[in-house]
Every structure is written in structure tokens, then in C-alpha cells.
Amino acid sequence: MGKVYERIDGRLRTFIEQQKIFFTATAPLAGDGTVNLSPKGLAGSFAVLDELTVAYLDFAGSNAETIAHLRENGRITLMWCAFTGPPNIVRVHGRGEPVFRDDPRFAELVRHFPEVDIDTHGLRAIIVVTAELIRDTCGYAVPFMDYREERTLHGDRFRRENDETLDRYFQKKEHVASSIDGLPGLPLPLPPRPGRS
């Protein structure tokens, strides 16, 4: 039923890139720490960088658990499910790193996402994941579900923000600068994006 892959290419890459949603899972090292599981969507916000590296855009939100966990230990699992077509679940287990807006790599990485208007969504980091284990499983119990359209609510909410007001928004949120368990989260004040002062 399941198979382990050496790289993200061919049919596996096509499957991953066609999915409308994926999920991320991270956890702190502490045994009693809070495990985080997040859905990720928004067309064009995920990219395969090479056969072992993927990245996705991390947008403004109510917390920064994934960022905090990656800063502490780097462990992450990404998962895609087939809601249409043949049943399939793909997981990429690996090491992740948040690349923040003041990182010299940020400007080059953001070019991998030409479909996304990053000014609209309050982009705060790019999560880069290096695969250590790539595998699929059957997905026989995953239901069929139909994709209708992208939600516009996130863009509607954050397009009116600039770097200064976005920083104030993050400063007010309880679990952005630090995680639920008190780990360092998004570095604040929020640095401007490359090309801005």
C-alpha cells in the first residue's frame, strides 16, 4: 500500500502541486508541549524548490506556533490528501526553517510564488522544508470532497495593512512573539520586506 520515495519528482510532485490544501504538523521538544497542526491553502503559496526542498508562504495570523517550533527544533511534517481522484496521502517529514523578511535569502525565495500578491496577505516569513523521509499511504478512508473556490477573507482582512500596522497587529496578539508554551515565535518588531525602508 505505502511507498517511500527518494525525491519529490514525477507523479509525486504533480500530485502535491495539484492539491488545494495541505497540513503542517510541528511540536516542541517538551513532552507536555502543545502539538500544532495547521491547514494551509491559498493558491500559489506552496512551491517545490528542488527534489528534496519545498517552501510555503507564512502569512499573518493569530499565532506563530509553527515558527516557534521550527526555531526550537526544526521538526515538521507536511501532509497532502487526495479529496478527488485515486485515494492517496503523501507525507514529507523533514527539517524546516522560517526565513524571515530581513534574511538575505528572502527576496530570492519569494520569487518562487509569482501567483500570490504578498502585499495582500501580510507575508511574515517563508517556511523552507528539507525532506528527510518522503512517503505515501493509501488514503482509502479519505472522503471525496469538491473544491469550489478560494476564500477571500484573509486577503480582505490584511490588504489594508502596511508593515507598521501589521507589526502593531502582531504585537497585540498573545501567541505571535511567543508560542503557547512560551517559545520564541515571530521576531518583533517586524522587519520591512526587502526593498522597503
* Per-residue tens of pLDDT for the chain, all 197 residues: 689 999 999 999 999 999 999 999 999 999 999 999 999 999 999 999 999 999 999 999 889 999 999 999 999 999 999 999 999 999 999 999 999 999 999 999 999 999 998 888 899 999 999 999 999 999 999 999 999 999 999 999 999 999 999 999 999 999 999 999 999 999 999 988 776 65
Measured distance CA(13)–CA(125) in Å, rounded:
23
pTM: 0.95
Beta carbons of 68 and 177 less than 8 angstroms apart: no
pLDDT score for 2: 84
pLDDT score for 64: 95
pLDDT score for 196: 61
pLDDT score for 197: 53
Helix, strand, coil tally for the chain in percent (to 5): 20, 30, 45
Measured distance CA(3)–CA(137) in Å, rounded:
7
